[in-house]
Structure formats: structure tokens, C-alpha cells
Structure 1
Amino acid sequence: MNTKVKILDEGNLDVEIIKEAGEIIRNGGLVAFPTETVYGLGANALDSEAVEKIFKAKGRPQDNPLIVHIAEIKDMKPLVIDISPVALKFIQNFWPGPMTIILPKSSIIPDITSASLDSVGIRMPSNIIARELIKAAKVPIAAPSANVSGKPSPTDVDRCIEDLNGKVDLILGGSMCDVGVESTVIDCTVSPSCILRPGGITLEMLREIEKEVYIDPAVMKKAEGNNRPKSPGMKYRHYAPNAPVKIVKGNLNKTIAKINEMVENYISENKTVGIIATDETREFYKNALVISVGSRHNMLSVSKNLFETLRSFDDNKVDIIISEAFEEKGIGLAIMNRLNKSAGFDIIKV
């Protein structure tokens, strides 16, 4: 397949490129596109054959449900059976934005889109390219992250090209994604509502709307059994670079000392080491490729840079990656969810 790549200026969109992309979606093709979270790989959510192409392009298991993206709140009505009062409050407060709401699906959602569940995740992105693409397609767009399944999600167009060139019809490029981790997924088919995947809309923000919102216990532990996941990101190893990842968790000074000790041990084994550090700690490490993901005083900078940092270690072909841990509050919960999964929950406590 000959993949076209078109770069767009978000401040001055080329209408003809958006129109072409919409036609590809409407005709059963695949388009990668930017959102505020990560780049997505889109197909017509109501076309089973088109959706199947997503799974083939990504190498994604078909029991992993897809999120359906819409451009306007009114577009949601034919896709679901019911919108609960609390779901409506979440929508009014956080859409457009990095939040997916799970609701009972209508009969027009194919089983392949929802992984044969009786529910579906719906999201209205805030990114202008994503929204205009959906409008041009005139259909809802099913879209997981635009990467090879299991790898860190792409937050810029170059990574989409790296993973999907020759596998999709068109890649739309924009600026680097603002949030850097996938959307919060909140299940509104249960009461109280339950967070199945943490993201940019945090637990604290959601609890301002519904005090009893809770986090599924599976979010911060290794997946067990063969249950069908109700949300993307719950079951399989995700966000993993080529090199194994280890997380050191605890007091920051003890963390730094432990990481330096580990580096020396790996060097004695002739291994190259990558360290995920922060602006506050990077100067304390040596004899390794040290990358700061941002400042601990600005956790959004950490989430924005996390996946690109993991991919950078692959570029440099390190043998092992060691990461500091982060406080599990606010968007830090989403950061640690992604880090834990990238490490296969290989966590060293100090």
C-alpha cells in the first residue's frame, strides 16, 4: 500500500486535505490523525470491514474494544441506548477533551468495534484536525492509537510514519500531542461510575462531578485471567519499548542511589542503560543515557513526553531502561499506569 503523508497547519487547515481524508474514511480506508492525547488510527466505526483493517494494521487482538470518536455531542445519540444523568454531567464539563465515556451501545455499533461487548466507549476530541476529519467523514470514527500494538503510542507524526507507513491510506500530521497519554475511560454503565483507564481528566476532576467515582482495582496491577477487557489498555502488555523497563519506587534520594547502583551493575555486564529522570534529578546520574521527561512541578510535561522518551531509548538501542516513579495523584496516576504496563510491573521498591 502506498501511504500518503499530509502535514497540516492547525491554525490554517487545508480544507481539501481534510476533505480527501474524510472520503477515505467514508469509503472504508484508514487514516492516522492527531488528537490532543496521542495520534489515532481511524476507520468508519460503523463499517465492520473497515474496522477489521485497523486490527490488521496494528496487529491488535480483536477482543480489545475500540473507542468511537465523534465531532458533536448530538452525534452520540444514535450510537448509544441511553445517556445517564451523570454521564451527561461529565460530557457537559469535559467534552471536547481527553475523556471517553462507556455507555450501553445501540445496534448500529458492530461487534468488531465493541469487541462483542454490549457497551461502547465514545469520545469527542478537542483537537481541531480530529474534529474536522470526523465532520468531513460524516461517520463516527473508531480509532485506537496509531502504533504497532503493544508499543508506546505516537505523540508526533514521525512516529506514525515509522509504525504505519505502507499499512494505511493516509497519515495526517499536526503538532505534538498536548496530553501525551490516552484518554481517561470512565464506565457510566455502572453506579457509581468507574475509571477503567486514567488519563488527562483526573480522578480528582471527576469527583467534583460525582463524589463516589472510583478506580477499577485492575488499573494499577498486572492483568489476570482471560476476561474480555471493557476498555483499551486493560488486558495486554502496552506502551512497551524494545528494551525491558524497570521502575524504582520510593523516597527520591533512595531512588537515585538505587538507580546509580543498578547502572554500575549493568555496566559491569557490558549493557547500555537508559534512565528516565526529571529536570530535578538528571544531574545526579552518570554512565547512562539520561533523558528528562519534564519537571515534577509540571506533571503534564511528564505525560506529554513519556511515550516519546520511551521511543527515544529504542532509537539509541539501549539494553535496559530504568525509570524513576511518580506520585500517583492527578495525571501522575495515568503516568504510572502507563509506566507500570511498559515495565510489565517490574517495580523495585526502596
Structure 2
Amino acid sequence: MNPQYKKMGWHLLGWSLFIGYALSGYFIYQWDYKVLLLTLSQLFLYMVQFYVCYLLLFPLWMRYRHWLVLTPGIIGVMILYICLRYLVEEVLYDIVFGFSNYSYGTAFSYYFFDNIYWSLPGIFMGGVVWAFESTLQKERENRSLRQEKTQAELAFLKTQVNPHFLYNTLNYIYSLAYPVSEKLGNAIIKLSDLMRYMLHESQDGKIELQKEIDYLQNYIDIYRLRFDEKFYVNFEIQGHVNGQRVPSLVLIPFVENALKHGVVDDPASPINICLKVQDQQVQFEVSNRISHNQKDQTTGVGLPNIRRRLELLYPNQYSLKIEEDAHHYTTKMKLHQI
């Protein structure tokens, strides 16, 4: 439904309830027609006050934020109310119906100060409704901005994952192109699967856990090509992964760091990767022996990236621990309420 029509509907409902309450006394206490006419004129004046404040005065004050707008405006609305009430109840009613609200000879000072009091409800109602709607509108805008910011940040962070890995893999495939072999075809197919996965998008930033596992397996298989048979990585999966969802590319930084900085060619110290699904939790642990050979000098974005993404997607619902000594490096991650 159009927001403007929805707002009009709420206004009509509010005025219907207010007018119904104000006129209920006429039917309960059997007022005469004079009281009814005076009640109707008062309701009309309140509506005029309400919309002058709601549509003009308070929006202007919000724009300029200065008492020179608000104070003269309130005084002007009071004067408008007094003048309109005098015109309707003291002039028009006297001419048409032969009576007026105030008795003849009423002092102007009494009339003026008495109507200052009666002018306050319309101003108050206009201010309250305007403030309430402005607060709701502001909250909707803030919520929309937060969602857009989160989605934009997630999209940006996602693009930072693994560019160096893809670069190295493409270089490796290029080297295989010289003695064209079956390995080249397999590597290209697996790389194609990786790239297809990275381009996959979802509204909530999450994907089926099984697809994330397939991505990890393809990643490991491509990495294995660089080491032939001297490649020792254990990948263990425990629990039922079907139906579970995780943020896309949330697991790969841990594996990438292990392969990049760990020892992969020692059968006595293989890289161990364990994924466990239990009690609505995903537990992911990667451990490796630290390699002391010369390392790639490029700056990684994996762990800072993953921490930021987890803060956005799992606020207060995740844990990430890193254990390191002189020889081994272990990362442990838990995602709750998956």
C-alpha cells in the first residue's frame, strides 16, 4: 500500500475516534442543538490547528531548529484559533442561529485568555502526532541505511577473499599449458567451479553448507596439483550438513592460511581440517605445522575479513579462537544458531 494512503487512513481513523468520543455526550446526555453546534465548531478549529502545526509549523522548526521559528509560530497558531473561533461562534452563529458562545458584554481580556487555554489541545495534538510519525520515519530510514551499509560492506569484503590464490592458480595453469596434459583440463574445471561459487549471491549473504564444503574440496584439489603426491591434508566432516547455511566463503580463509603458511609435504605432520555440525552449531577447526621457509610477502586480508563478516552476520553468536606456538598454528571457529 502507498505510504501516503496508509498515513491518510490512520489520520481518518484517529479523527473518527476523536470526533466519536467528543459527540458521544450529545447522545448520552441529550444536549440541545446549541451545545452540538459549539462542539462541532470546536472540533473543526482543532483540526485546523492540528494540520497547521503538523504540516507547516513543526516541519519548519525541524528544518531550521531555532526558537525564532517555533515560538512565533505557536503564538500565530493561537491567534489564528482565537480569530476563527470569534468569527464562527460570535459572528456566524449569531447571524444564522441567533446565539453566540460568550454572553454579550464579555470583556475582551477574558475572551482572549480563556481562548489561549482552549487553543492548547490542538497544538499539543499536532506536536505529538508529528513527533511520533517523524520518529517512526527516522527509524525506518536508519534501518534501511544500516541494511544497505551492511550489504555493501559484506559485498566489499567478499570481493577481497582469495585474489592472491586465484592469481597463483592461474599462473600454475599457465605453466601446465606447455606440456598439454590431462591435469590442465582437471585444473581448469575445478577453477571454473571455484569462480562460479564466488559469483553466487544470496539476499542474506549465506549459502548451503554443502556448497561451501564442495568449494573447499575443489580448492584443496587444485592446491594438491602443485605438489603431486607429496601433499598431506586431512579433511574430516562430522554431523549432518544438509539444510545448514553459512556465510559464503567463511571457511576458506582458515584453509588458505594453513596451506600458505603451513607444511603440506610432511606425512608426519599433515594439515588437519575438521568440520562438525552439532546442536545447531557449526564448528570448524584447522591446524597445521608452521613452515619456516620463505613466505609470500603479500598482505593477507583473511582473518580480519572473517572477523568483520562474523560481527555483521553473527553478532554475539560466534566464537573465534587462535592458538599458536613455535611449531603449530590452530584456528577454531563456532557459529551458533545457524
Task: Tell me the TM-score range normalised by the shorter chain.
Answer: under 0.3
Q: Which structure: larger Rg?
A: 2
Point out which structure has higher relative CO (alpha carbons under 8 A, 6+ apart).
1
TM-score scaled by structure 1?
0.22
Q: As a proportion of its length, which structure holds more strand?
A: 1
TM-score by length of 2: 0.22
